[in-house]
Amino acid sequence: MRLATGNQLQGRVARSAGDDQSDPSRNKCTTNENHNRALSENNSSQSPEHLQIVARATNDAVRDWDVGSGSLFWPQGLESLLGYCRSSAAEQIGFWQEQVHPEDRARAAASIGDALAGTSERWSGEYRFRRADGSYLQLLERALIVRDGQGQAVRFVGSLMDVTARKQLHDQLCRSQKMEAFGQLAGGVAHDFNNFLTTILGYCDLVLAETGRKSAIASHVAEIRSAAGRASVLTGQLLAFSRRQALEPRVVEVNSLIANLEGSLLRLIGENIRV
């Protein structure tokens, strides 16, 4: 009998003694298991060729893992994408396990193990894989799980796509979004803080005007005003950062800056520290 796929199906028809032979709906057909086995072997023998054809249409690496024996076949990508020469070491599943990044190894192995133990026919996941030169690629693997008649996984055929550039762009976007959020927060804090500093500077000027610059507390008030002035400059820089304004870097004399802070620092640090 010819199937819709074009394949021939071998079988035998058996009738019970009490069946109405004029009623075709009562026929009992038993398929030939030898034919199914031969068909499966035929498909398996063609699989490497089919995998190579599919692999050549992409830039992905392809691995075909025989779950039972642990053997690993690489139709494409072992050399071109991963940089490894074909060897007996690369033909065992242990090779794949060793090259997966240590931080991703247990997670990837557990996820694949769960998929093999279940009933799913597909698996996908991302992990870092070490190339022959020692660098790591971010790989996205999409796999098909082939099962036998009892539902046991017998093959795991995966396509490994290099998504390193996409991962880097995603990380850059996340960092950019974090910096934008930080800038908004810093801008709000700096704006409020600048209002406080304006009040401090104003009261310092009032105290100096009422007591005179030669009074006993004048030097202390001047120190407060100087510190508030420097803080005001810092908040201005934070506001410029939050608004994405162009900053104006300039060369400064570090020694003089530290000297101006010496009076404040000496009162804050311990006696065992020299400035």
**What is the mean predicted confidence (pLDDT) over 125-152?**
95
Sheet holding 61-66, edge to edge: 72-76, 61-66, 153-162, 136-147, 122-130
Torsion of CA 199, 203, 206, 210, to 10 degrees: 170
pLDDT reported for residue 96: 94
Q: Quick check: 95 and 71 in contact, CB under 8 A?
A: no
Give the residue, 200 or 11, on which the prediction is more confident: 200
Instruction: Identify the band that residue 238 occupies on the pLDDT scale cut at 50, 70 and 90.
Output: confident
Query: H-helix or E-strand containing 31?
Result: strand 28-31
Please tell me what DSSP assigns to residue 213: T
Average pLDDT of span 212-217: 77
In angstroms, the CA 142 to CA 27 distance is: 43
pLDDT digits (tens, 9 = 90+) for 160-175: 999 999 999 998 998 8
Q: Is 78 helix (H, G, I), strand (E, B) or coil?
A: coil
104-117: average pLDDT: 96
**Tally of CA atoms within 13 A in the half-sphere of 150 that contains its CB:** 3
Residue recorded with tokens 């406080």: 196
pTM exceeds 0.85: no
Structure confidence at residue 148 as a pLDDT band (50, 70, 90): very high
Closest CA to 8 of 30, 32, 41, 29: 32
Question: Measured between alpha carbons, how far is 147 from 158 in angstroms, rounded to an integer?
Answer: 15
Give the per-residue pLDDT at 212. Answer: 77
Q: What is the pLDDT of residues 29-82, one digit of tens each?
A: 444 444 444 434 444 444 556 656 666 666 789 999 999 999 999 988 889 899
- pLDDT for 68 equals 92
Cβ 141 vs Cβ 161: under 8 Å? yes
3-state secondary structure of 12: strand
Token pair 């997670």 is found at 107
Helix, strand, or coil (residue 144):
strand
Least-confidence region, from 22-26, 235-239, 255-259? 22-26
Residue-range domains of the chain with CATH = 51-162 (3.30.450.20), 168-268 (1.10.287.130)
Q: What pLDDT is stored for residue 253 in this prediction?
A: 82
Better-scored residue on pLDDT, 266 or 252: 252
Contact 99, 88 (CB under 8 A): no
DSSP single-letter state for residue 18: T
Let me know: does 31 contact 3? Beta carbons within 8 Å.
Answer: no
Q: Could you tell me what percent of the chain has a pLDDT over 70?
A: 73
Measured between alpha carbons, how far is 155 from 54 in angstroms, rounded to an integer? 17
pLDDT score, position 116: 95
